Structure 1
Amino acid sequence: MANNFQGAHDFQVDKLKINVTNISSSSSGVGLKELESRIAAGAMHDSAERCDAPKCHPDTRVAVQDDLYDWIMDGEGDSEHPKKIKWVTGPAGTGKTAVMGSLSERCKAGGVLAATFFFASWSASIGRRRKTSFVTTIAHQLARYHPDLREEISKAIEANSDIFDKNLHTQMKILVLVPLQEIARRPDAPGFQGVIIIDGLDECEAEQYHDTTTAGSKSKLLAPRTNDQDQLEILEVLQAASSDPSFPFHILVASRPERVFREFFSPTNSPDPFAQKLDLHEDYNADFDIALFLGVKFQRLGRRHNLPQSWPPPEVIRILVENASGQFIYAATVIRFLDTGHREPLQALLKAVLKMEANTTSNPLEHLDALYGHILESSPDPPYSVRWIYAIDLLSLFKGTSAFNVNMLLQRDAESNEAEHLLGNLHSLIQIPPPGGQESTKYRFYHKSLLDFLEDPSRSRGLYVENKEVKAFIWDQFIRVCASEFDFASVFVVPSLTP
């Protein structure tokens, strides 16, 4: 302050009143900016990365969405021990992500969406594939939606500058529970209500750690963690948070019924589980919704191809619904197959679908497997196309791998259009960018069940390719490109893959 009067003279001060405001305001902006830099932005339900994410077709899955929304709003009514966590499960293709996406939009419109996190094993963003940004992304959304929490979360970051290097339990305590506890102590504490929605937790990959205490400049990899360990860690963090009296939110966790989730949510030694379970396959009959979906899509296709309104006959939809076995992904793939511009007439394509023979087993995915196999076999070189699919999946995990980059690496002739030759009939399985937009967009798989199919030799049979063969294929392509005159390094950094 002395500098403000430097050089002043011949003045008299009778009364001096100085109002000092915190010129730097609070460092809340700094703390929240640091928090924002640690989130997985693509994991939020309305992110740009999820612009093409599946949603429930209008008027479908209404019952399950209503039940979940009622639980969010009312809990379990007069239950003496209400459950704050609900596990939504079901096999691949039953529409879990679509239900969670549509429910998120509904909760946001109703003002009861606290936070969302959509894991995705295919994402190039590490934050969506691992646990690292899970708690920070939840805290960021709580701060965004609730001004009172924003202030307390900012204070917590200022008081714990190393919080982003702590484990998930500590992060949840400092960034979420402590701020909630501080607000709960206020005489005029606001009442929070809402839901935290987590989808695809079974797709969370394990974070690996290195021992940095080893003498010398090189650190060594500690005993590798499994995906189950990190998934269980997140589940335990959520359970601990839900049991805190100051935690007001419901939690929805959607995943496949993998063992780690079955054992966590339905422990054999607990007669009263702490969470509710909702099975999309067992608790809800999806046949009506699938029939409605197919009916609307067939009407649209019929109008486009100038077919009579009686096409297809009701018997066709009944057969397709039966073949779907509750798997929405089957119905969606059938429609994409019919709608991808094959040279054959629409009626011939539908007839081919109906003639596909499935194995006479109890596997509910047998018709989906037959459909996947038929579509892949329509490629001019099915085994080579499968190698491309695997390579696209591996390379998509690295930033900068646009469709153009992938093509430049994999196609045997830089001037050819091998990608269209191999993948041209697979548009119902893979979202393929148009030729003019391949430099800035990526290949996308419509559903993870395609890779599940290819990775299981009992399902894919003659199309099965071992992982080591795929890595060797990528290396061969990389060596070929390095030996050519094309400056591939300027557009793509090849990941470390050991054949």
Structure 2
Amino acid sequence: MSILLYFVIDALDECDDDRNIQVILSLFAEARSLERVQLRIFMTSRPEIPIRYGVQELPDVEHQDFILHNIAQEIVDDDISKFLEQHLKIIRRECQLAVDWPGAHDIRRLVQSANGLFIWAATACRFIRRGKLFAADQLSIILKDDYVTDYSTDETSTTDSAITPEKQLDKIYITVLKYSAPKYRKSVRKKWYKVLKETIGSIILLFSPLSANSLVKLPHATKQGIYQTLDSLHALLDIPEDQNRPLRLHHPSFRDFLLDQRRCNDPNLWVDEKRAHQTLADNCIRLMSNSLKQDICRVDAPGVLVTGTESSRVEECLPPEVQYACIYWSQHVKKSGTKLCDNDQVHQFLKAHLLHWLEALSWMRKVSEGIYAINYLEPKCSSKPTMLRIENYPTILLFRLAIVPVYTHLSMI
């Protein structure tokens, strides 16, 4: 008798590495050879190239494809209507609103505005819910569907142009961001937007999610300012009550929106990707410069093995934000497009902390990341790399920086 197993994989396209996507799809393809186990797999994804190619490799009889925008609009609208009814019912109960709120007419208007996008409906519900006592007012803001915002005057005007699903999504993102801004006077409001851009710019461009407690130690902004900014973004970000758990986007479309100047045409909100990566690189280097040191895990025993050291000690001495900085700072430098030169920030950091950085990576069992980083950084230097003399360090013997790959003897791994 065979066993029937069900797998549900949501948003396969959000997998960090295309190679992992290929591995997942190939493993599922091989599952047909199993004799005692039958698999049923439900998978959702945007139609990215690696996923399309991977699915095409499967025999047609073994998979069925459903393209959302090819499904009849009335079916999608009916599903969105049910979604809205259920979530608004919960909001009505939580906020003690009238039993007939919001009414069938308003739900139909919301369905029309969603234009087939569940992420629009979900974002709208989160925005309304965050209004709490003023949830009904939040709904009224969303239902003002006859305006576009003029950011130079902060006023509204009407438009007769057709609104596509993407524009509807952009519109609700702008609405949520606009109404999340406190009612500061103009000079203070400008400072708030700066903190907002740096905060959300960091979150959407992180290569690995960080918690709120880790994030506040990374940017060059006040801890209180970042926490207050995050508190206004629950409709757009998954912000756990436990501030040690990672922050995540509710949907990758928010990242796409913020990075596209054509879609996010408010200069207070648009995130310049290269500049934001440069800011993250600067912040990572600053954090490492202030944190890394010789024998950072205080073992006081050259040659000790990582496997012989408790992981809790490593986590205590190398908290998540420092580990993130050590692993990803060079990738942020790469994405920023910055050209390296003598005595710049990267050069100064490597002169002072190269061995400290490599030691930290060895404690994290990520020395390969250091090799990849050096391989990338070397050709980006505007001058010929300087050969380093052989240096003996408690845990690392580094022979030459300019050799590719870097040959190291790491006694800790």
Report the secondary structure of 1:277's partner residue: coil
Report how far residue 457 of structure 1 moved: 3.0
1:430 corresponds to: 237
1:417 corresponds to: 224
User: Quick check: 2:2–2:35 contact (8 Å CA) kept in 1?
Assistant: no
- C-alpha separation in 2, matches of 1:371 and 1:425: 15
Corresponding residue pairs, total: 278
- C-alpha separation in 1, matches of 2:213 and 2:97: 38
Check if 1:275 corresponds to 2:63.
yes
1:11-40 per-position Cα deviation (integer Å, ceiling 9, x unaligned): xxxxxxxxxxxxxxxxxxxxxxxxxxxxxx
With over 3 angstroms needed to count, the CA separation of the structure-2 counterparts of 1:422 and 1:247, relative to structure 1, is closer
With over 3 angstroms needed to count, the CA separation of the structure-2 counterparts of 1:200 and 1:313, relative to structure 1, is closer
Given candidates 102, 115, 121, the residue that maps to 1:331 is 121
Given candidates 361, 374, 391, the residue that maps to 2:175 is 374
User: Quick check: 2:195–2:221 contact (8 Å CA) kept in 1?
Assistant: no
- C-alpha separation in 1, matches of 2:25 and 2:213: 39
- C-alpha separation in 1, matches of 2:113 and 2:239: 27
Identity, % of aligned pairs? 29
2:211 corresponds to: 402
Report the secondary structure of 2:218's partner residue: helix
Report how far residue 465 of structure 1 moved: 2.0
With over 3 angstroms needed to count, the CA separation of the structure-2 counterparts of 1:396 and 1:342, relative to structure 1, is farther
Report how far residue 417 of structure 1 moved: 0.6
With over 3 angstroms needed to count, the CA separation of the structure-2 counterparts of 1:242 and 1:363, relative to structure 1, is farther
1:207-255 per-position Cα deviation (integer Å, ceiling 9, x unaligned): xxxxxxxxxxxxxxxxxxxx2x553454344334436777743343322
1:108-156 per-position Cα deviation (integer Å, ceiling 9, x unaligned): xxxxxxxxxxxxxxxxxxxxxxxxxxxxxxxxxxxxxxxxxxxxxxxxx
Report how far residue 444 of structure 1 moved: 2.6
Report the secondary structure of 1:193's partner residue: strand
Report how far residue 318 of structure 1 moved: 0.3
1:125 corresponds to: none
Pairs within 5 Å for 1:165-244: 190-206=1-17, 227=18, 230-242=20-32
With over 3 angstroms needed to count, the CA separation of the structure-2 counterparts of 1:377 and 1:192, relative to structure 1, is same
Report how far residue 193 of structure 1 moved: 2.9
Report how far residue 337 of structure 1 moved: 0.6
User: Quick check: 1:430–1:444 contact (8 Å CA) kept in 2?
Assistant: yes
User: Quick check: 1:342–1:425 contact (8 Å CA) kept in 2?
Assistant: no
- C-alpha separation in 1, matches of 2:276 and 2:132: 28
Q: Which runs of no fewer than 5 residues in structure 2 stay unpaired?
A: 149-158, 182-188, 294-315, 337-413
Give 2:169's aligned amino acid: L
With over 3 angstroms needed to count, the CA separation of the structure-2 counterparts of 1:245 and 1:369, relative to structure 1, is same
Give 1:277's aligned amino acid: D
Report the secondary structure of 1:293's partner residue: helix
1:391-434 per-position Cα deviation (integer Å, ceiling 9, x unaligned): 12444716xx4311211222523xx5111332332121123345
Report how far residue 316 of structure 1 moved: 0.9
1:76 corresponds to: none
Pairs within 5 Å for 1:59-208: 190-206=1-17
With over 3 angstroms needed to count, the CA separation of the structure-2 counterparts of 1:298 and 1:234, relative to structure 1, is closer
Check if 1:286 corresponds to 2:76.
yes
User: Quick check: 2:202–2:280 contact (8 Å CA) kept in 1?
Assistant: yes
1:311 corresponds to: 101
- C-alpha separation in 2, matches of 1:290 and 1:319: 12
With over 3 angstroms needed to count, the CA separation of the structure-2 counterparts of 1:194 and 1:352, relative to structure 1, is same
TM-score, with structure 2 as normaliser: 0.57
With over 3 angstroms needed to count, the CA separation of the structure-2 counterparts of 1:243 and 1:460, relative to structure 1, is farther
Give 2:114's aligned amino acid: A
1:148-199 per-position Cα deviation (integer Å, ceiling 9, x unaligned): xxxxxxxxxxxxxxxxxxxxxxxxxxxxxxxxxxxxxxxxxx3333344443
Given candidates 130, 133, 138, the residue that maps to 1:349 is 138
Report the secondary structure of 1:286's partner residue: helix
1:467 corresponds to: 273
Pairs within 5 Å for 1:351-366: 351-356=140-145, 357=147, 360-361=161-162, 363-366=164-167
TM-score, with structure 1 as normaliser: 0.48
Report the secondary structure of 1:250's partner residue: strand
Report how far residue 333 of structure 1 moved: 1.2
User: Quick check: 2:130–2:234 contact (8 Å CA) kept in 1?
Assistant: yes
Check if 1:445 corresponds to 2:252.
no
- C-alpha separation in 2, matches of 1:347 and 1:249: 46
**Which of the pair is proportionally richer in helix?**
2
With over 3 angstroms needed to count, the CA separation of the structure-2 counterparts of 1:486 and 1:301, relative to structure 1, is farther
- C-alpha separation in 2, matches of 1:473 and 1:242: 48
Give 1:191's aligned amino acid: S
User: Quick check: 2:80–2:118 contact (8 Å CA) kept in 1?
Assistant: yes
1:387 corresponds to: 198
